[in-house]
Every structure is written in structure tokens, then in C-alpha cells.
Structure 1
Amino acid sequence: MTDPLARIPYVDGIISAAQVAETAASIAAMQEDCGSVPWTTGEHTDVWNHVEAAMAMLVGGQVEAAERAYAWVPTVQRADGSVPMKIVNGVVEDPRGEVNMSAYLAVGVWHHWLVRRDVRFVQQYWPTVRSALDWVVSQQLPFGGINWTPTESFALLAGCSSIYHSLRAGVALADLLDDPQPEWELAGGRLGHALREHRDLFADKSTYSMDWYYPVLGGAVRGRDALEVLEARWDAFVVPGMGIRCVDTNPWVTGAETCELAMALDGLGDHRRALTLLGDMQHLRGEDGRYWTGWVYGDGSTVVPEGEPRDVYWPVECTTYTAAAVILAVDALGEVAGHSTAGSGIYRGTSLAPHFTELALECGCPSADDLSRLAGGAA
């Protein structure tokens, strides 16, 4: 008889396949009847974290729950392709359309294809993906970043880095279905250039670790430049033995951010530090495979304001998005030893559409074609 855990990823010495399956089941246990996966029971749902949870449940063997989660997304998409920012128990609490949340379904559907090879599933969700990405690229600003919402004229570095990832997944889906989307490729080229060369034009959220590593995790920044980005603020965010800070000013390490940094390192081939981070954050593992969001520490080297918590889990809740990040990091890092699914490279970018060509740059920088001509002239 086939071992039911045979296809579930694991990392020797850190987390077993049985533990990964338990964590996936813990996410499914918090899923609402409609298919929505909130941050935690009774909390709100946003589509980005919801899709991340669906990806993790699929990897962890909760196939039916994952597909119920995907079926929920089109029910909240609006006619223009956007999705609301916050939904609580089926009721829209914050109606603003948020570009990153709207875009991320493309990553989830491409991930499902990699794992299941079900073209009917892809065809079913393609109209939703296409409508979402059409709306997202319509929000592009002149410098290449994507407006956070239609009513707020600024772009977020972490969110746009994720959109770059989503556009590559979207183009991969378009290629699979033979439905070319050249507008997405042009938008992706402009966005990628902005993420590599003009990060100062995005809203300043530099105290947050996500702004630090997301240009690498989303794939826009690679190679030596990526290593330099991560080294520049490594000591500001990484707390040895615990994980990474969510905010550089606070003594608070968070599991989801730690796992995402591990996946960013995996994409650069730095498996040693990635595995260390994955192991370090396991102190957040709770009962039934759930994961606490974060830990506030007081080790004498940091000052915790009087009256604030110290040496405690905070917030006092286990979150689906933290559990999901753990599972996807395990899948990515398990590939080194052959203990992963076919979707393990989703953040490594090896299974996505190629990086976009930089064309018609409005910032005045030379395009890729210009650089090529200059190189040819020099030769």
C-alpha cells in the first residue's frame, strides 16, 4: 500500500513529513465553511494569505480543502478584477482593492498546475487570473511601481516584488493555455527595472523586514545584487537561534517572515543559512502542528518598554499564514535531499516564465536593448 506521507515534503532533522501533514491539517481546521481561510479563527481573510494557505494545504496533502479555498476566490472578485482588502465571516470589512492580493491567485494556480498537472483546473481559474492581472497592470505608475490601491498613489516595495512574481506566474499560465498577454510582459519589464534600480521611489517601509528581502524572494533581484541586498541588513533583522524580526526596532521575531527569508536564500543557493533559519523558528511550533505568529524576547541586549510583553508569544494566536510559510519553506528546502513536491521551486522561480525584458523605460535609464547595443559597440 502506498505511504500516504510519501509525497509530503520534509527536512531531515528539522521537521518530518508527519509533522508537515499535521500542520496542513491545522490550516484546514481553521477553514470556514465557504472555503475562506482567515488569519486565525474569527479573524479576517485577505486573498494573498488565503492563496498561500491553499498552496500549503495542497503540499501537505489537504487537497480537497485546498481546492475549496481556490473555489472561494472568484466569489469575492469584483467586475474590474480586484478583490477586497479584508473579509470577515463573509462580509467585506475593507472594500479597497489591493493590487498584491488581487495578483497572487496567479501564483496559486500555477503552483497547483505544477503539483497536480490538472489543466481543467487551470482553465477553470484562468478568467479570474486574467481579470485580476489586467486590473493590476492598469494601476502601474510612471516609474514602474504598481499603485497600492486606486485611491492611494504610492507603491509598496514588498507588495510590488510579489506582483513581479505573480506576473511571471501569469505569463507561464498564458503560455500553457496559448493565450498570450504581452501587456503583462511589458508591465513586468518596467516593474522589474523599478525593483532593481529605483527602490528609493517606493514608499519607505524600510523598518519592516519584508521590504528588505522581498525584492529577492519575488525574483526581481538575483545574483550578486541579491546577496548584497541581504547582507546589507542581515544583522538588523536576524536574531540567531530565534528567527528574524518583523520590524527592526522591535524585539519580536516572526515565523512567516523567517520562512520567507529562508526561501529567498534558497533561491540564491544559500541552503546552509536557509536551513538554519527554518530550524531556528521551530520554537514557534505549538500543539496540533499549529504555529504561533511570533515571540517577543528580552535577552538583555534589547530594551522592552515598561508594561510591554517580554519572553512571550505575541500576538497570542496561531495563524494560518505562519503555518503556510513553514510548509512552503519545507517544500523548497526539502528538494535538496529529494523530499519535496513538484511545486517546490515556486519561489525559486525555476518553473516560472523567464524574466521580463526591460523596454521603453520612462525613467531615463538605458534599456536592455540599449545596453546590448553599447556592449556590441564596445566590442
Structure 2
Amino acid sequence: MTTPRAPRTPRTGHLVLPGVLTAAQAAETVAGIRAQQRDDGAIPWFRGHHLDPWDHTEAAMALDAAGEHEAAARAYDWLREHQNDDGSWYAAYHDGDPARPTDLGRETNFTAYVAVGTWHHWLATRDTAFLDGMWPVVRAALDFVVRLQQPGGEIGWKREADGTPVADALLTGCSSVHHALRCGLAIAEERGEPQPDWELAAGALAHAIRCHPERFLDKSRYSMDWYYPVLGGAVTGAEARARLEMRWDEFVVPGLGVRCVLPNPWVTGGESCELALALWAVGEPERAGEVLRSIGHLRAEDGMYWTGYVFEDGAFWPEERTAWTAGSLLLAVAALGGDAPTRAVFGGTDLPAGLTPDCCGLS
């Protein structure tokens, strides 16, 4: 099935941020992401490497933020055409080739993220035919995810290649799933098709994230577990600002970016850009801009961004420039620059919240 295309209207005005991107640099980065996209719509990390569904979607969202709606729609075509019968996708495909999966695990957060991208594309294009075509995809994906929810509200990490469910839950992944469930509920609301199971799942998951850290594997060395509950919208307001402040000095390296994992002397572009989005979402745009300016040293001559930098060795590592790193940078700048669809998706103030469970007397 081919989705009718919205007109191609590339735009970079809101992707200009002093000290981060000029209009020319933004256009160069957008072109860099498009250069990685295959003819069938797949966006691997870079050509010859693998595609995973989450990062593929993140890159597509960046294309939409730049007005490259046709290229983004082709990325969603790829997801629609290659979804597994159970609603999932495999965790990795060689160079985005659907016939060559390299990891047959089916991860819940990878599968759920299609809802975030679909809602973002709809807000950017108001393409009803697109939403009609993607609704069965989103519904099957989120149903796959909800089936792995545990009694405590957390979502199991994945199904193994043989179908065995993994009940262990990851805080970062579950925070992303929470975001996806809320976007899925927004799509359902737009279509007038209530999904009460998703409402219950989103509320229970949010409560687990906010109040029950013991229900998740301990990955507190990783910066994503620090900021993702905020980025995914489960922790908000003063609580969110306090959370980000609490471990700021552990993870943020002034002038260089955000560490991926403690105690390694390694800052990464993706984590830095996601933290900037979280900071914008809690009302700290100036601080978000500072974080984005700090990773200017990761920008390569082709407009793409190195994945990370080992500052004790003065070396970029790994030696790769990924579409999703560039995509996360464009999305963070778009939010700061006033792009309405990106702000609606990551600000989350108008997204349905789900139903809070009656648990431990807390909301």
C-alpha cells in the first residue's frame, strides 16, 4: 500500500540556533540523514550498518521536523510493510534489509516508538490517509507491548527469538514506552476509537516509573535512566526539575556534553540531545541550549555527528556518524526553535495521561 504524499516543503528556519546550527548547517545535516535512507524508506544507522526500529523512527521524525515529509512517509511505509504478524519488529536488520534481520529479539520500546513517530507525522502533515494507513500498525504494535506488561505496571523488555517473554524491565525503555502509549492514545482519540487497555497500561506504567524503582533493573550508571523518566513524560513539574538537578554534576561534562555511562570518560551526542529535550520540556530552554552548544565538537565536516568522544584520549569513538544522532540534534533544536509538532510530542501537555492505578495511596 502506498500512502499519498504530502508536498515536499523542506524548511530549516526553526532549525537555526545560535552556536548550534546555522540554516546552511541545518540543511547539510538534513541532507546527511536523507543520504542514509534506502530507496525502500529504511534508515539504517549509516549505510552498511544495521537498522533498529526506534532509531529509524527517530531519524524519520527529524526529517518531518525539517519539512521532508515525503522522505519521512517512506520511512513509515517501511515499518508498515515489514511489521511482524504479532505487531513487533525485529531488533536489528542489516542495512535496513527486511530479509536480513540480525537480531530476532523483539524489544518493546523499539516496537512502541512507531506511535510517537506516527503522531508526530500526523501533526506535521494532517495527512488523513497516512493516519488511516498507520492506525492498524500502531494498534498492533502497542497491543504487542501491552501484552508484556507485568503485574506491577512495568513492561517486560522483549520477547526472545523463540517467543519467550523477558519479564525484566528497563527504566529507560519503559519511559519511552510510556511516551508511546500516550501518543497512541492521542491517535486513538483523533480517530474516535478508545483503547481502554492502553489507558490502564499507561497509568500503571507511569506510576511504576514514578514510585517503584525496585521494579526495574538497576541501570543507574547510565545517564538515560536519569533523564528518560522526564523525557518520556512520567515525571513532570518540580519533581522532574529536581530529578535532573540531582545527578547533573555526575553526568554533565561542561563544554563537552553528557556521559553515556559512569565512570567512563565518554560523552555522547544522542544522550546530550535527549537531555536537552528533557530540559526544554521542564521549562529550562537556556540550559538546553547550553548542552547543545557543548557538543559542537561532535559535528563532522559532512554535517553529521560523531556518536561520542572519549575525552581522556581526545578521540571520537566509535568511529561512526549515525542518522539517529543527527536526528536527535535536529529534534532538540526544533523544539527550542518553536516547531509546533515537535513541541506537542515532546512537551506532552496535551497528550492523554492514562488512568492512575489505586496503588500505595499515591498518584
Partners of 2:362 and 2:66 in 1: how far apart?
Answer: 43
Secondary structure, counterpart of 1:57 in structure 2: helix
* TM-score, reference length from structure 1: 0.88
- Over the aligned positions, Cα root-mean-square deviation in angstroms equals 1.5
Q: How does 1:162-177 map to 2 (within 5 A)?
A: 162-177=176-191
Measure how far apart 1:341 and its partner are: 4.5
Aligned to 2:36: 30
Partners of 2:33 and 2:177 in 1: how far apart?
Answer: 24
Partners of 1:88 and 1:50 in 2: how far apart?
Answer: 13
Larger radius of gyration: 1
Aligned to 2:317: 314
Q: Of 92, 95, 106, which residue of structure 2 is paired with 1:97?
A: 106
Deviations 1:49-80 (A, max 9, x none): 00000000111232222111110002221111
Aligned to 1:111: 120
Residue type at the aligned position of 1:223: G
Measure how far apart 1:295 and its partner are: 0.6
* TM-score, reference length from structure 2: 0.92
Contact kept? 2:12, 2:27, Cα under 8 Å: no
Aligned to 1:122: 131
Deviations 1:274-296 (A, max 9, x none): 11001111111112211111111
Contact kept? 1:8, 1:21, Cα under 8 Å: no
Secondary structure, counterpart of 2:104 in structure 1: strand
Q: Of 62, 85, 96, which residue of structure 2 is paired with 1:56?
A: 62
Deviations 1:128-186 (A, max 9, x none): 00000011011001111000013322000000000000000000000000111010000
Aligned to 1:366: 361
Measure how far apart 1:6 and its partner are: 6.0
Residue type at the aligned position of 2:351: L
Confirm or deny that 1:15 pairs with 2:21.
yes
Aligned to 2:51: 45
Aligned to 1:134: 143
Residue type at the aligned position of 1:344: R
Contact kept? 2:111, 2:141, Cα under 8 Å: yes
Aligned to 1:357: 355
Measure how far apart 1:44 and its partner are: 0.8
Aligned to 1:333: 336
Structure 1 portions without partners, runs of 5+: 299-309, 369-379
Deviations 1:96-142 (A, max 9, x none): 11100110000001001111111211111000000000110110011
Q: Of 128, 150, 157, which residue of structure 2 is paired with 1:148?
A: 157
Secondary structure, counterpart of 2:343 in structure 1: coil
Contact kept? 1:5, 1:18, Cα under 8 Å: no
Q: Tell me: CA distance 1:175–1:30, structure 2 relative to 1, closer, same or farther (3 Å).
A: same
Deviations 1:214-265 (A, max 9, x none): 0000000011211221122111100000100001111010001001000101
Q: Of 256, 260, 264, which residue of structure 1 is paired with 2:278?
A: 264
Contact kept? 1:25, 1:62, Cα under 8 Å: no
Partners of 1:127 and 1:66 in 2: how far apart?
Answer: 18
- State, as a whole percentage, how many aligned pairs show the same letter: 50
Confirm or deny that 1:223 pairs with 2:270.
no
Aligned to 1:345: 344
Structure 2 portions without partners, runs of 5+: 1-8, 160-164
Contact kept? 1:5, 1:17, Cα under 8 Å: no
Contact kept? 1:8, 1:341, Cα under 8 Å: no
